[in-house]
């Protein structure tokens, strides 16, 4: 076996091993072989990282860095990401099994988060309040909330870190990031760029390790003021409960079971493409997967014929090759989970019309490959329609009319996203209004932008990332009162309206 690449983590401006000296292996999901050794951090490492972040925020050079200078550093970081996009993409493909074509697009666009929020850094303004009291000047300051814990899943580490880190840095916060234990390498590579961009020690720290050993001590650390989490619903609930004990501010980006709704007045080829992109892009390992295709009864047969024909041609293979369209499942437990759900769907009576199991080497598969799978005749009460699979498994459900589509579309605990395929603008507008989801795409799917708010309704999350307002997740407001009155008034009476 080739020797493993040894990583160190980054705490307080230093490249360090875990205090225990322990490491864990990271696997290449295409070959199934370990390729990197990652420090196995625990509570002591978390404490060091949070203390470093706290010192940088409270008294370190970061506290004195102007918002304009912060913005400049962030734009420098954006430039460095652009220069190193290819190398970052290569690490993520190796560690995560994401397609090189997808990572090319992601890493090329990634700098935009640091440019956008870097530009916003010195546009955070308080206001002068129109006071209802004489002799009072009352104004607000919008201040960084403090040390932010950022916990991300394995499916898009660099992107999901950017959604948190960029607004947090712009707000003046400091951070401790915990990547998934399955995909830590790309973030550690990224930290070299953070260092080169000139961020002072302690502003951005990383603790690598498991949820239990590194994640929980981070969420519960008394000096962490805010937790920004992306991951599964069960973990999100645990993180929320732990953070509540310390009354921390929390934002959660969780799972989804998004409906991709195809009306009989759609442009059929576009809708087929959109449904494919919703479930088979990123091998279905995306929170916004359009895992329920709701197809109007009147076009069901024609639509399914075209859908299966296109899906059948999806090319599985080495994620490094530009022609590959469907890659491996990223982690062994996830691979087992997807296969379990395929079994559950079959037991529930759903009709498997494509795929339905592991893909062998003759089909382009490697160690953890699952064929693009389509279940027809699904009813919305089946587990395959209600629970997040997080893999290339599509459930097709038919509906009669708009009302039926809305009822089925909304009948899940999630509310992350929805797609609608129609040429009727009135129908599109009604659907956009009535679907309970944080994002609704009309005649497109899986479009995201740094400028546009993203987040979940219902059990898909709390708070919003991206867009200007996301910076508020990392700010708190202080109200400052200055009296210009003679004397300080009656000490036993509250200074309410009209009195100073
Ligand atoms: P996960 O919930 O298992 O893990 C997410 C992160 O939480 C990892 O870093 C993990 O180590 C950490 N963690 C686990 N237990 C913890 C604990 N007790 N305390 C603190 N941290 C803990 O999720 P995953 O399997 O890595 O990722 C897949 C999930 O992420 C899916 O459900 C998907 O929908 C969701 N996701 C959501 C979005 C979104 O923006 N809404 C984006 C991508 C992924």
- Give the CATH number of the domain where residue 207 resides: 3.40.605.10
User: How many helical (H) and strand (E) elements, i.e. helices and strands, does the chain have?
Assistant: 16, 22
253 is catalytic: yes
What's the helix, strand, coil split of the chain in %, to 5? 40, 20, 35
Asked if residue 14 is part of any domain, the answer here is yes
Rounded to the nearest whole angstrom, what is the distance from the C-alpha of residue 231 to the centroid of ligand 1? 2
Question: Does residue 351 belong to any structural domain of this protein?
Answer: yes
Which pLDDT score, from 0 to 100, does residue 497 have?
64
146 lies in the same domain as 273: no
Report which ligand 1 atom has the smallest distance to the Cα of 218. Answer: 20
Cα 320 to ligand 1 centroid, rounded to whole Å: 25
Helix, strand, or coil (residue 328): coil
Q: Are residues 80 and 41 in the same domain?
A: yes
181, 253, 388, 473: the active-site residue: 253
The answer to the question of residue 496 being in a domain is no
Whether 9 has a pLDDT exceeding 90, the answer reads: yes
Strand stretches in 156-201, DSSP E: 174-178
Looking at the fold, whether 239 and 211 belong to one and the same domain comes out as: yes
Of the residues 107, 175, 266, 287, only one is catalytic, namely: 287
Encode pLDDT of 109-155 as tens digits: 999 999 999 999 999 999 999 999 889 999 999 999 999 999 999 99
Measured distance CA(117)–CA(132) in Å, rounded = 35
For residue range 350-406, what is the model confidence (pLDDT) as tens digits? 999 999 999 988 898 888 999 999 999 999 999 999 999 999 999 999 999 999 999
Q: Which atom of ligand 1 is nearest to the CA of 234?
A: 2
| Judgement on whether residues 383 and 468 belong to the same structural domain of the protein | no
Note whether residue 448 is domain-resident. Answer: no
CA of 84 from ligand 1 middle (Å) equals 27
Q: Ligand 1 center to residue 331 CA distance, Å?
A: 13
- Tell me the percentage of the chain whose pLDDT exceeds 70: 99
pLDDT, residue 337, reads 98
Same domain, 179 and 58: yes
Whether 324 contacts 317, CB under 8 Å: yes
Q: Are residues 147 and 94 located together in one domain of the fold?
A: yes
> Which atom belonging to ligand 1 lies closest to the Cα atom of 256?
34
CA of 345 to the centre of ligand 1 (A): 24
Which ligand 1 atom sits nearest the alpha carbon of residue 287?
34
Cross-strand pairs, 250: 227
Kindly give the number of the ligand 1 atom that is closest to the alpha carbon of 289: 34
Residue 60 domain-assigned? yes
For position 197, what pLDDT does the model report?
Answer: 98
Overall average pLDDT of the 326-342 stretch: 97
Q: How does DSSP assign 334-361, residue by residue?
A: HHHHHHHHHHHHHHHT-EEEE--SBPPG
457 CA distance to ligand 1 centroid (A)? 17
Which of 235, 288, 335, 338 most suits a substitution to test ligand 1, by most atoms within 8 Å of the C-beta?
Answer: 235
- Same domain for 182 and 235? yes
- Per-residue pLDDT tens over the stretch 397-455: 999 999 999 999 999 999 999 999 999 999 999 999 999 999 999 999 999 999 999 99
- Cα 135 to ligand 1 centroid, rounded to whole Å: 52
DSSP E strand boundaries for 101-214: 136-144, 147-151, 174-178, 204-206
48 and 125 housed in the same domain: yes
Q: Is residue 162 part of a domain?
A: yes
Do 284 and 191 belong together in one domain?
Answer: no
User: Ligand 1: which residue has its CA nearest to atom 31?
Assistant: 232
Question: Residue 328 falls within a domain, yes or no?
Answer: yes
Among 231, 281, 388, name the best residue to mutate to test ligand 1's pocket (greatest count of ligand atoms within 8 A of Cβ).
231
Pocket probe mutation, ligand 1, options 164, 232, 331, max atoms within 8 Å of Cβ: 232
> Tokens for 348?
């529930």
d(C-alpha 408, C-alpha 385), whole Å: 10
41 is known as an active-site residue: no
Structure tokens at 16: 């360090």
CA 152 to ligand 1 center in whole angstroms: 6
Cβ(394)–Cβ(275) below 8 Å: yes
For residue 141, tell me if it sits in a domain: yes
Query: What's the total number of domains in the chain?
Result: 2
Q: Are residues 266 and 407 in the same domain?
A: yes
Taking the C-alpha atoms of residue 216 and residue 43, their distance in angstroms, rounded to an integer, is 8
- The CATH number linked to 364 is 3.40.309.10
- Mean of pLDDT values over 78-103: 96
CB-CB contact of 228 with 148 (8 Å) = yes
pLDDT at 495 over 80: yes
Q: Judge whether 310 and 276 are in contact, CB under 8 Å.
A: yes
Domain that holds residue 236: 5-254+460-479
- pLDDT tens for residues 268-304? 999 999 999 999 999 999 999 999 999 999 999 999 9
pLDDT in tens, 165-218: 999 999 999 999 999 999 999 999 999 999 999 999 999 999 999 999 999 999
Nearest CA to ligand 1 atom 17: 211
Strands 292-296 and 259-262: parallel
> 371 and 246 in one domain?
no
Distance in Å, CA 174 to ligand 1 centroid? 21
Question: What whole-number distance in Å separates Cα of residue 43 and Cα of residue 184?
Answer: 18
Paired tokens of 406: 């809305």
**Contact indicator for 374, 308 with CB cutoff of 8 Å:** yes
Question: Which residue minimizes the CA distance to atom 39 of ligand 1?
Answer: 253
Same domain, 250 and 270: no
Determine the residue of 40, 153, 220 to mutate for testing ligand 1's pocket, defined as the one with the most ligand atoms within 8 A of the Cβ atom. Answer: 153
| Burial class of residue 16 in the structure, from the number of CB atoms within 10 Å of its CB (0-12 exposed, 13-18 middle, 19+ buried) | middle
What lines the ligand 1 site, CB under 6 Å? 151-155, 160, 178, 180-181, 210-212, 215-216, 219, 230-232, 235, 238-239, 253-256, 287, 388, 390, 416, 456, 461
DSSP string computed for 398-464: EESSHHHHHHHHH-SSEESEEEEE-S-HHHHHHHHHHS-SSEEEES--S---TTS-B--EETTEES-
- pLDDT of 186 reads 97
CA distances (Å), origin 126, targets 141, 304, 467, 478, 484: 5, 55, 19, 9, 21
């Amino acid at each position: 076996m080739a020797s493993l690449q040894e990583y160190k983590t980054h705490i307080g401006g230093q490249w360090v091993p875990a205090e225990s000296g322990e490491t864990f292996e990271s696997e290449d999901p295409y070959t199934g072989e370990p390729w990197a050794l990652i420090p196995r951090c625990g509570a002591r490492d978390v404490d060091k990282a949070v203390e470093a972040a706290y010192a940088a925020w409270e008294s370190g050079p970061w506290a004195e860095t102007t918002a304009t200078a912060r913005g400049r550093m962030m734009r420098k970081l954006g430039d460095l990401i652009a220069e190193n996009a290819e190398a970052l993409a290569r690490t993520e493909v190796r560690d995560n099994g994401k397609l090189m074509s997808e990572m090319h697009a992601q890493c090329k666009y990634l700098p935009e988060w640091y440019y956008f929020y870097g530009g916003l850094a010195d546009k955070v303004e308080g206001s002068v309040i129109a006071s209802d009291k004489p002799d009072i000047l009352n104004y607000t300051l919008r201040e960084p909330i403090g040390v932010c814990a950022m916990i991300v899943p394995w499916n898009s580490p660099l992107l999901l870190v950017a959604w948190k880190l960029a607004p947090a840095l712009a707000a003046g916060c400091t951070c401790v990031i915990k990547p998934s234990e399955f995909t830590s390498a790309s973030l550690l590579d990224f930290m070299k760029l953070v260092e080169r961009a000139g961020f002072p020690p302690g502003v951005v720290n990383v603790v690598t390790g498991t949820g239990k050993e590194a994640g929980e001590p981070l969420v519960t650390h008394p000096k962490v003021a805010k937790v920004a989490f992306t991951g599964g619903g069960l973990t999100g609930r645990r993180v929320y409960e732990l953070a509540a004990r310390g009354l921390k501010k929390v934002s959660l980006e969780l799972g989804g079971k998004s409906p991709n709704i195809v009306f009989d007045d759609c442009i059929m080829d576009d809708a087929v493409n959109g449904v494919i992109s919703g479930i088979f892009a990123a091998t279905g390992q995306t929170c916004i997967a359009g895992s329920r295709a709701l197809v109007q009864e009147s076009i069901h047969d024609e639509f399914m014929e075209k859908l299966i024909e296109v899906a059948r041609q999806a090319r599985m293979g080495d994620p490094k090759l530009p022609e590959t369209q469907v890659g491996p499942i990223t982690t062994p437990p996830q691979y087992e989970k997807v296969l379990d759900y395929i079994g559950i769907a079959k037991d529930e009576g759903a009709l498997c019309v494509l795929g339905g199991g592991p893909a062998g080497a003759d089909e382009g598969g490697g160690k953890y490959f699952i064929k693009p799978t389509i279940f027809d005749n699904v009813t919305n009460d089946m587990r395959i329609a209600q629970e997040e699979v997080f893999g290339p498994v599509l459930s097709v459900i038919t509906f009669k009319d708009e009302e039926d589509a809305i009822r089925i579309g909304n009948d899940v605990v999630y509310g992350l996203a929805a797609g609608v395929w129609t040429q009727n603008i009135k129908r599109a507008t009604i659907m956009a209004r009535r679907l309970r989801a944080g994002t609704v795409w009309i005649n497109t799917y899986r479009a995201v932008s740094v400028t546009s708010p993203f987040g979940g309704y219902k059990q898909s999350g709390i708070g919003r990332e991206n867009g200007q307002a996301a910076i508020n997740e990392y700010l708190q407001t202080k109200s400052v009162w200055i009296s210009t009155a003679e004397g300080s008034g009656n000490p036993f009476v509250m200074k309410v309206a009209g009195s100073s």
